[in-house]
Amino acid sequence: MNPDVMFFFETVISGLMAGVMYALVALGFVLIFKASGVFNFAQGVLALFAALTLTGVMEKFGLPAWAGIIVTILVMIAVAWLVERLVLRHLVNQEPIILFMATIGLAYVIEGTGDILWGSNVKVLDIGLPQGASDYLLDSFNLYVEKLEIVAAVTAALLVAVLAVFFQKTRIGRALRAVADDHQAALSVGISLRTIWVVVWSVAGIVALVAGIMWGTKSGVQFSLSLIALKALPVLILGGFTSIPGAIVGGLIIGVGEKIAEIYAGPIIGGAIENWFAYMLALAFLLFRPQGLFGEKIIERV
Amino acid sequence: MLYRETGQFKTSYPKDQAIFPIAQDKAFILLVLAVAFLAVPPFINDYYAKAILIPFLSYTMAAIGLNILVGYCGQISLGTGGFMAVGAFATYKLMTSFPGLDFALIVILAGFVTAGVGALFGLPSLRIKGFYLAVATLAAQFFLVWLFNKVGWFYNYSPTGQITAPPATSFGVLVTGPEASPAAGYLFCLAFVCVFALVAKNLTRGNIGRQWMAIRDMDIAAELVGVQPLKAKLSAFAVSSFFIGMAGALYFGVWLGAAEPTEAFGINISFLVLFMIIIGGLGSILGSFLGAAFMVLLPIVLKTVMVDGMGLQAVTAKHFEILLLGVLIIFFLIVEPHGLARLWSTVKEKLRLWPFPY
């Protein structure tokens, strides 16, 4: 095949894979926003903290990967519980911006705690995920695709499937949807808002752990990991804050758009446009569809 | 007893609408101004000017600007750092293109340039609102910083990509560059902040401010009673950016002297200023002052206590500082979501009855 076309395909595929990573972080945002209307700025730091904890417990106590992951999940549930207990419980009925600011504060707290506990140097995260290029695709199609990224894509797909079942079929999932629809109505039929918050923050914590593992394996566990949250934000506004499929599709669009723009438009206007291109893409899109791709159209009344 | 309105009669509408209708308030403000303008300058040294006073004043200017947008008009913005960069680079270009121009004029012109850019980035606010808008303003933040990094014209093609403030005078006194005296820089910033705080106060008290607040409280209802959202939102973006641009000019020109866009105007600055107005008090000019003072002093106090007092290592202290900052923000939001300005008005309420609480 024509090498230019091949190159284009590779760009698209690597964009798709990067998009999956963004989508993983965006998913955590969506879960929390959907169930409580809180715009959780700490999601990126949560991913960093999960990855730090995982490497920390594996190094310090010499645990195998599976045990480390279980310990980290328990830690993330504890974090969720603490967040509900110490922060959210006291901020019921406050304006959204106050809650948003509280999660920025939370981001600082979690980051500081993570640094104090495990140190701020770059760590290698290895839980035995496959590394390097996929030989099969390289040999038969001459496509360069990293194995890790395939794993990430499969994991993300599984995660979304599990979440969909969880939301649609289980008792607690129904409660979550009820809370998302209307806090007060949910409370009045006996759903405990506090339990819901703990559950949803725990789930977001576990999603953050998955994101943290993928990113950490790819590029080491370090502070910059929390900055991918900033990449997940345009994904969110593109997909809509309340939509799980939106997070996935938005992630893929942003991932591909960003890579194509960087490679084909970057050299013309000066390069390193990846930082803002996603935002501009999302912004331009919003001008035509203010609620995002899959967001709910809110009808306002006076 | 100390603080009472009883017996202070207002016999005309202008008196009733005064900024400080109560005599004690007026006296207190005049006292503060007198101290700031007359008593502080003789004792000022380089450390106080560069570490506390000038940062405090330039951040106050930025906080007033952001408060107009977020606190009064209810449009959340995370692009402050980018707009400060516009102000700083406009200052730099004006200073190098017109070396003889008075620095005060340059600061105001930089404000106008930023107002234009701000209104441009405010356009999406007509279609989108809330958190969608907050994220959209990040586009301004990243795009502007990238632009100033990439396009050589903005930094006069200097090899480092840095901008450095050349010496400039205002009314014959040197205020920028390494040769400027600390007191001159301080007084220059102080004068600017005082004048424009008054402007902001009056804007927010007047017709346009009421339109902003109507949009903030409920935009559809505001539209129904005749506020034009287009005019109100864009003017909020423009005025807010005007202040933030001037803040950027003071921040770069008088305080830093040299700046590199990614370092000096990163997203951290945006958050810092946002914290200032949240902790100080949303929708309050006084709150902008209090919040800026708090956020400038906090790291200095923490560092003194932890590194010098408790002998912690600088790295550990830094981690604790981040942690404590987060805790403080959450603490403030829980205990006093209306910020320090609210605490101050509570104090005034108490003083009104003091020493007899009933």
Phi, psi of A215 (to 5 degrees): -65, -40
Smallest Cα distance from A244 to chain B, Å: 17
Interface test with B, best of A94, A104, A281 (most B CBs within 10 A): A104
Instruction: Tell whether A108 lies on the interface with B, counting CB pairs under 8 A.
Output: yes
CA distance B320 to B125: 38
Instruction: Tell whether B274 lies on the interface with A, counting CB pairs under 8 A.
Output: yes
* ipTM, interface predicted TM-score of the complex: 0.83
Phi, psi of B170 (to 5 degrees): -135, 120
Which residue from B131, B149, B271 is facing A39, i.e. has the nearest CB? Answer: B131
pLDDT (0 to 100) of residue B83: 95
Which residue from A94, A275, A300 is facing B146, i.e. has the nearest CB? Answer: A275
Instruction: Tell whether A93 lies on the interface with B, counting CB pairs under 8 A.
Output: no
Smallest Cα distance from A86 to chain B, Å: 9
pLDDT (0 to 100) of residue B358: 65
Instruction: Tell whether A87 lies on the interface with B, counting CB pairs under 8 A.
Output: yes
Whether A112 sits inside 8 A of B130 (CB atoms) is no
Which residue from A115, A292, A301 is facing B319, i.e. has the nearest CB? Answer: A115
pLDDT (0 to 100) of residue B266: 86
pLDDT (0 to 100) of residue B89: 93
Both structure tokens of A301? 């009344």
Per-block average pLDDT, block size 10, for chain B (358 residues)?
Answer: 76 85 85 90 84 92 94 90 94 89 92 94 84 84 88 83 84 81 89 94 92 91 91 94 94 88 87 89 91 90 81 78 86 86 87 76
How many Cβ pairs closer than 8 A exist between chain A and B? 135
pLDDT (0 to 100) of residue B114: 95
Instruction: Tell whether A237 lies on the interface with B, counting CB pairs under 8 A.
Output: yes
Interface test with A, best of B316, B323, B328, B331 (most A CBs within 10 A): B323
Instruction: Tell whether A101 lies on the interface with B, counting CB pairs under 8 A.
Output: yes
Instruction: Tell whether B134 lies on the interface with A, counting CB pairs under 8 A.
Output: yes
Whether A279 sits inside 8 A of B320 (CB atoms) is no
Tens digits of residue pLDDT in A215-253:
888 777 777 777 777 788 888 888 888 778 888 888 888
pLDDT (0 to 100) of residue A151: 82
pLDDT < 50 positions in chain A: none
Whether B323 sits inside 8 A of A116 (CB atoms) is yes
pLDDT (0 to 100) of residue B209: 93
> What residues of B are in contact with residue A274 (Cβ under 8 Å)?
none
Instruction: For B338, name the nearest residue in chain A, comparing CA atoms only.
Output: A98
Q: Mark which residues 11-30 of B lie under 8 Å from A by CB.
A: none
